[in-house]
Amino acid sequence: MSLIAKYLFSQNKRCGIHFIQKKNLSSNPVVRVEQGKLKGSTHNLLDGAPYYSFKGIPYAQPPVGELRFKAPLPPKSWNNTYEALKHGPVCPQLDMITSRLIEGNENCLYLNVYTKSLAASDKLPVMVFIHGGAFLNGSGNSDVYGPDFLLQHDVILVTINYRLEVLGFLNLDIPEVPGNAGIKDQVAALKWIKTNIDKFGGNPDNITIFGESAGAASVLYHMISPLSKDLFNKVIAQSGTCLEDWALNKDLKPRSFRVGKILGKDTDNPKELLKFLQSLPAKNLAGLTIKTRTQDEKYRGLPIFFTPTIEKDFDNVESFLNVNPLDALATGNISKVPIIAGYNSAECISMLPVIIKKANYRSKHPEYLVPKEIMLNVSTEKMKEFGKRINKFYFGDKEFTAEEIEAQINMLSDVNFTYNNNRFTYLYSTSNQPIYKYVLDYNSDLNTFKKLVGMSHLKGTCHTEDLSYLFSSKYTTKIYKEQERVRGLVFTLTKLWTNFAKTGDPTPDQSLGVKWQPYTTSGEEYLHIGEPLTLGHAANRERTEFWNQLYCEAGLPHIDTHK
C-alpha cells in the first residue's frame, strides 16, 4: 500500500469510514439512463480505490440556432451506446486570468458523474457542484474539479457546464429572451440528475448542491426559484450569496442593447436585435463584459454584469426568478433546507492587482467605495458621506492608497463577500432549518492563487483557494502527494462537507474534535476552519456592525444586533 493510501487508511479508520481496497472493475461500465445507454470508464483515486467516470453526458438539447438565448429543452434519446469518455465542449468564454478567448462551443450543456458504485441499492449521497467564474468563465471539467478528494468519503460527485456571459444571461425583456438562460441550464441539469442518478448508485432523495462564488450565488438562487423546488435536499454556499451586488443585475436590457451596438447593430427593436445576435458566431459573444461597462461601473464593485436577473412575467413562459432575493428571504418564500455558508479569511487578496490600479482614483472619490445596493437607495450627498465614513473606518486618517494592503483586503472582502454572507445567514436563521456558518483560514502550498497574483507572503485564504482543498486538479495533485500536512487539511474539509451531504450535520460525531453548532441570532456561532478547528461567535464583529449601521441608515435589511 502506498504512503498516501496508508495515511488515508488510518484517517478513514479513525473517522469510521470504510476504506475500499483496490479491486478490478469493468473497464467499460455501461448504464442505461432515460435517454439510452452510456459507456463510461474506470479509474483509481489517489488513495488507490477504484471509481467509475462518465464524462460529457448531454443533459439538454444543444442551445444553438434559434434556441440560442432560450431556456434549455430536454435532451433527446439516442439509439446506440453513448460514449461518455471525455468532457463535452466548454462554453465560449474569456479566460479571466489570461484574457484569452476560449472559443469552446455553445453546444456545451454537459455534465460529468463520478461514483465508486453503480448499484442502485447503495443509495450513495449525491454532491452536485456548480462552478464559479463570475458567470462568464469556467466549466465542470476535471482539470480543475477532479473527484479524488471527495470520493474517498463514498459520495457521488457531479459537475456541470452551463451557458455563460451573453450566451447565458442576455435579457431583452421579451418572451423569447426573458433572461436567466444560463441558470435555467443548471435547473435542467438538476432535473436530469434527479431522474437518473440512481442508475449510478446515487440516492435521488439525498442531493446536495454546492458552489463557489457565482456558483454559491447560484445554489442560493435555486432555493428561491420555483423551477428548482424539490430538486435538492441540502445546500453549501462558498464565498458568495444571491444578495451580492455582483450576483443580481437589474439593468440587463439596456446592457443587452449595448452588446448589439458594440457588435454592429444599433437598434432599439428587441426582436431585430435577437435575430442579429443569433446570426453571429458564438465566439463573438464572449468577452463583452468590460466593453459594456458604464462610467460608474469602471470604479464601483466588481466587473460582473451578465448575471441572474428578476424576470418579467410572460404568458406560457416559466420564470426562474420573479422576486427580489431579499424579499424572498424576508417573507420566507424560500426552500427550507440545511445549509453550510461561509467565506475565506482574506477573500480579496486575489483581487489586489486590480484594486491597486484603482486606488488613487478611489482615494479622491471615496463615494465609489459604497456598494451599489446602498448607492441606489440614498441621495448623492449621503453616498459621499458614506464613502468618507468607509474610508475613515478602514484607513483612519490615511488615504485609500495602494500601500494600505491589509485594510484594502478587509474592506473589499466585506463589500463583495463577507458582509452579505453574514446578512444572508442572519436572515435565513429564522427558517427553522440549520445553517452552519464558517470562516476558512487554511495556509499551505495549496493556496495557489496567492502565488499566481504575487501575494503569497500575505496571510489568509483568498478567493477560490478553498477549491484546492476540495478538488484534485492539475494544480494540486503533486502537492497533495508530497505533503502529509496538506493531505490532513484536505481530509478535514472534505470530511466536513461530505458528512453534511450524508446526514445534514457536518460533525455528527466527535471524530474531528469539534461539534459545529448551527448559527443562531443570539450566539452568532461559526466554525473557524483552520489548524485546529475552533468554534467562535460573531465573525468579524466590529466590521459587521459598521456595515449594519450603513445598511440601516440606507433603509435596507440588515443584521439587527440589538435583538
Q: How far apart are the first and last CA of the chain?
A: 56
| 251 contact partners, CB below 8 Å, separation of at least 6 | none
Using CA atoms, how far apart are residues 321 and 368, in angstroms rounded to an integer?
A: 29
Spatial contact of 216 and 240, defined as CB atoms under 8 Å apart: yes
Spatial contact of 321 and 224, defined as CB atoms under 8 Å apart: yes
3-state secondary structure of 537: strand
What DSSP letter does each residue of 99-164 carry, written as one string?
--EE---S---EEEEEES---GGG-EEEEEEE--STTTS----TTTSBSHHHHTTS-EEEEE----
Burial of 556 (0-12, 13-18, 19+ CB in 10 A): middle
241: its cell numbers:
450569496
Using CA atoms, how far apart are residues 384 and 377, in angstroms rounded to an integer?
A: 13
Q: Which of 141, 116, 210, 95 has its CA nearest to residue 472?
A: 141
Using CA atoms, how far apart are residues 316 and 329, in angstroms rounded to an integer?
A: 27
Say which of 53, 213, 429, 444 is annotated catalytic. Answer: 213
Using CA atoms, how far apart are residues 3 and 481, in angstroms rounded to an integer?
A: 9
Using CA atoms, how far apart are residues 40 and 199, in angstroms rounded to an integer?
A: 13
Spatial contact of 78 and 157, defined as CB atoms under 8 Å apart: no
Strand order in the sheet with 525-529: 41-44, 50-58, 110-115, 156-160, 124-130, 202-212, 234-238, 339-344, 435-440, 525-529, 534-537
459: its cell numbers:
496571510
Spatial contact of 417 and 425, defined as CB atoms under 8 Å apart: no
Burial of 519 (0-12, 13-18, 19+ CB in 10 A): buried
CA neighbours closer than 13 Å in the CB half-sphere of residue 555: 6
What DSSP letter does each residue of 335-399 carry, written as one string?
----EEEEEETTGGGGGHHHHHHHHHHHHH-GGGGS-HHHHTTS-HHHHHHHHHHHHHHHHTTS-
Say which of 165, 311, 347, 524 is annotated catalytic. Answer: 347
Using CA atoms, how far apart are residues 187 and 184, in angstroms rounded to an integer?
A: 5
Q: How far is CA 95 from the centre of its chain?
A: 17
Active site residue 213: yes
Q: Which of 159, 162, 165 has its CA nearest to residue 93?
A: 165
Using CA atoms, how far apart are residues 423 and 432, in angstroms rounded to an integer?
A: 17
- Residue 500, sorted as left (phi over 0), alpha (psi -120 to 50) or beta, turns out to be alpha
Using CA atoms, how far apart are residues 176 and 314, in angstroms rounded to an integer?
A: 10
Q: Which residues are catalytic?
A: 213, 347
